[in-house]
Chains A and B, each alone.
Chain A
Amino acid sequence: MREKETTLYLGPQHPGITGNMMVKLKVAGDTVVKAETHVGYLHRAFEKLMEQRTWIQCFPIVCRICVPEPDPNEENLARAIEEIEGREVPERAKYIRVMVLELARLATYGLWMGGQAGSMGLYTMPQWTVGDRDYIIDLFEELTGGRIYHMYIWAGGVRRDLPEGFTGRVLKVLDYLESRLPDYDNLLFNNAMFRKRAEGVGIIPKDKAIEWGVVGPPLRGCGIKHDVRIDEPYEIYDKLDFEVPTAEGGDVWSRALVRRQEYEQSISIIRQVIDKMPGGDYYNKIPNPLTWKVPPGEAYVKTESARGEFGYYVVSDGSDKPRRVHVRGPAFVHGVSLLEKILIGANIADISFIMNSLGTCPPEIER
């Protein structure tokens, strides 16, 4: 007996930490037959605003594109400007930038763990991970002055040097986070209910993954090993020793395993950076930021953020304002066209579960 098809609007709020995005579904009983995504609830017209601001005024505005993890944005814009101008960055600044980026990656993985468990109904996990993430945010506040939006990385280096004793405090926080990992494992990753719920849900086929534009942890969860930090090393990633984990399966469970292993790799990267950090200058000074003109040219730069590959296309025509800055976040493809394909055949209860595992972040879909 065939069930009648109804239309269902799954509105801007979702359980877990996703953001404002609407999915219009056609359901027959409890399974989804057709899905259509609607975005645009958070559109602020960043790219138009950046054409009206001078180059130095673009840095505070660029970090607000991605709300959970603002540092890859600043780093991309800074690296694009340095490439167009031909400006050199001192070694110490590169090491500090890598440390800040990896700390931001740890904080975002903490939020992801909370969101993934929260959308399943396990509310103890967000209480733990969001509370532990606060220690990393305390470090950011001491270093840069702001809790969420740092505005610390800019063209030519970083804004100020590390305070005294900072690396000791970072190592203490890393030791504490490593001691919490067995608790997270017991609650979420070794939990039989999470495994049964997550295996076989939201599968991305391996032979079509690159053609559909999948990047980041979802791609590594299919068994394909690609990472911007290895393919095109930027800053000092070619001098560090780390692994890129993969898992087979392509479903929510394998993506969770990949992110759990990358958490440990990030902690070891920060330890290596602190060991090898040289002395020296932290900033290559811009002559006068108020009348700073970038020569004509263009650049395309990429970074590996916690959710995938982040790309920036910057065009300059020689004046003191940018001509065009085009931002491409990983969620642009994951959240709009990929989601419509893999939701077919899923239960209604699994929709926000799949959205959390792909890492959809609507502020960067519509900027």
Chain B
Amino acid sequence: MTYDKNSKKIVDIIQSFARKHSLWILGYGTGCGAIEIPPTMTSRYDGERFGLRGAATPRQADVLLITGYLATKTLKRVIRSYEQMQSPKYVIGFGSCTINGGMYWDSYNTINALAQYLPVDVFINGCMPRPESVISGFIELQKLIAEGRADGAEKYQKNLEWYRENQKKVIHNWKMPDYNW
């Protein structure tokens, strides 16, 4: 179960093939981009043929889809949900607000760059992205999984102090459990 790029065993190839064709998305629409997820999952732009479906709890989910801007109140809940998910897990940043703040760059309540607080694998830009862009973002994630480069979870574990320092600067009342796996 290694993500070592140098030694590509046959086990890794079969595992990543299985993982990339069954991605379960946590059913949490965090921002205004969540209005384009129902059209992606219904019969016109069928998302289920790629293996995407919704999951109810963080323990059963693989992908966390951050749809749009994040207020600091939601960021605290999103961090807690992310740490409850089990490896292997991926984060997709959806919309221009996760890249550089988007339309709300000068607001006192929304964060500007998501990559400082959570490890993001794929960004999809647009305001908001069309269902075809969403599907092409998932195909990009599938390519990264097949090559073994989607290692956001390991990056988070190794640089935990850096991420924590950034998060505590924004969230003042820090009463969260420790992250120890």
Contact = CB atoms under 8 A, between A and B. Distances in A.
B38 interface: yes
B103 A61 contact: yes
Contact of A20 (B30, B35, B38, B39): B30
A134 interface: yes
B38 A48 contact: no
A147 interface: yes
Contact of A131 (B27, B29, B42): B42
B144 interface: no
A13 B39 contact: no
A158 B31 CA distance: 28
Interface range for B:
20 to 34
Given A20-B30, A114-B38, A44 B74 contact: no
A257 to B, nearest CB: 24
A133 to B, nearest CB: 8
A13 B73 CA distance: 14
Contacts, number: 74
A40 B32 contact: no
Given A20-B29, A64-B32, A12 B77 contact: yes
Contact of B35 (A44, A45, A127, A148): A148
**A interface SS class:** loop
B42 to A, nearest CB: 5
B39 A49 contact: no
Interface residues of A, number: 33
The 7 closest A-B pairs by CB, nearest first: A45-B107, A131-B42, A130-B42, A67-B32, A130-B38, A41-B74, A131-B43
30 contacts: A12-B28, A13-B29, A20-B29, A20-B30, A40-B73, A41-B71, A41-B74, A42-B74, A43-B71, A43-B73, A44-B69, A44-B104, A44-B109, A44-B110, A45-B104, A45-B109, A48-B108, A64-B32, A64-B103, A67-B34, A67-B35, A68-B35, A111-B38, A126-B38, A127-B42, A130-B39, A134-B42, A137-B39, A148-B35, A148-B36
